[in-house]
Amino acid sequence: MSRTSSVSSAAAARTRRAGQPRLRRSSRGPRRRRPGPGRRARRPGARAAGRRSRPARRPRRPRSGAPGSPVGAEPTWTLRPATQADATAIAELRAVVMRPSLEALGRYDEHRVRNRFLEGYRPERTQVIEVDGVFAGSIAVRLEGDAVWIEHFYLASHTQGRGIGGAVLRRVMREEARQGLPFRLDVLKGSAARRLYERHGFRFERALEWDDILSAAPRES
């Protein structure tokens, strides 16, 4: 190659490099972006520190059955005819489940709440509710005049909120529908049980001093 060619090639290379931007090396590492107008510079690690972490979600506890049943097991409930021997257990349960409502009305008396039940107890029209083979409540019916009255419907607290009360009420109403009569019951004013009855078609009929009378149309069998 001639000297003239070498000079021409070198000049061409310099011309190409002159058209490209020169890269400046810095010993201080990568350059940071400057914040725009009105924006504050973010300190290193500020985003991580400012980000709020969500607390871990607690696992849901499985519903438990009656005492002694496997955790998470679905409850098995049955109805059986009551006997005279069930009177004390039902009276004790009545005193427990009715206490909050009676106290709210200023009417709770530990002896009266038991004795009123025992004095009028009729096992022949009462059924005992058992959950997983254990006593858990009662329900009674009384045919009077133009209605079927539902009475002494009590359910132990450890079985409430699991659909048992509604299932028992539906069965009893289906069984008594053959009478072709409306249903009635009385519920203490302010009692939480009223919501259960209203979900199953009971509506306010009239008020007494301490109770409200609710009624429902007969259900088809």
CATH code where residue 169 lies:
3.40.630.30
The answer to whether residue 125 is domain-embedded is yes
Region 122-143: mean pLDDT is 97
Higher pLDDT, 75 or 153: 153
pLDDT of amino acid 145: 87
Mean pLDDT along residues 143-171: 95
**CB under 8 Å, gap of 24 or more: what pairs does 54-62 form?**
none
CA-to-CA separations, 162 to 63, 78, 173, 215, in angstroms, rounded: 8, 14, 19, 24
Q: Is the pLDDT of residue 7 over 50?
A: no
More confident residue, 217 or 2: 217
Do the domain assignments include residue 14? no
In a domain, 184, yes or no: yes
Instruction: Give pLDDT tens digits for 164-190.
Output: 999 999 999 999 999 999 999 999 999
Percentage of the chain with pLDDT > 90? 60
Reported confidence tier of residue 203, pLDDT bands at 50, 70, 90: very high
pLDDT higher than 50, residue 142: yes
Is residue 87 assigned to a domain? yes
Domain count along the chain? 1
What confidence tier does 64 reach under pLDDT thresholds 50, 70, 90?
very low
Asked whether residue 102 is assigned to any structural domain, the reply reads: yes
Residue at 35 is within a domain: no
Residue 183 falls inside a structural domain: yes
Domain span at residue 87 reads 77-216
For residue 105, pLDDT over 60 is answered with yes
Residues 6 or more apart whose CB falls under 8 angstroms from that of 146 comprise: 181, 182
Tokens of 189: 């004013």
What are the pLDDT digits (tens) for 36-51? 555 555 555 555 445 5
SS3 track for the chain: CCHHHHHHHHHHHHHHHHCCCCCCCCCCCCCCCCCCCCCCCCCCCHHHHHCCCCCCCCCCCCCECCCCCCECCCCCEEEEECCHHHHHHHHHHHHHHHHHHHHHCCCCCCCHHHHHHHHHCCHHHEEEEEECCEEEEEEEEEEECCEEEEEEEEECHHHCCCCHHHHHHHHHHHHHHHHCCCEEEEEECCCCHHHHHHHCCCEEEEECCCEEEEEECCCCC
Mean pLDDT to the nearest integer, 87-110: 96
pLDDT of residue 62: 41
Average pLDDT over residues 111-138: 97
pLDDT (mean) for 22-35: 54
Statement: residue 149 has pLDDT above 80:
yes
Predicted confidence at residue 86, as pLDDT, reads: 98
Residue 167 lies in a domain: yes
The pLDDT of residue 155 is above 50: yes
Query: For all residues of the chain together, what is the average pLDDT?
Result: 80
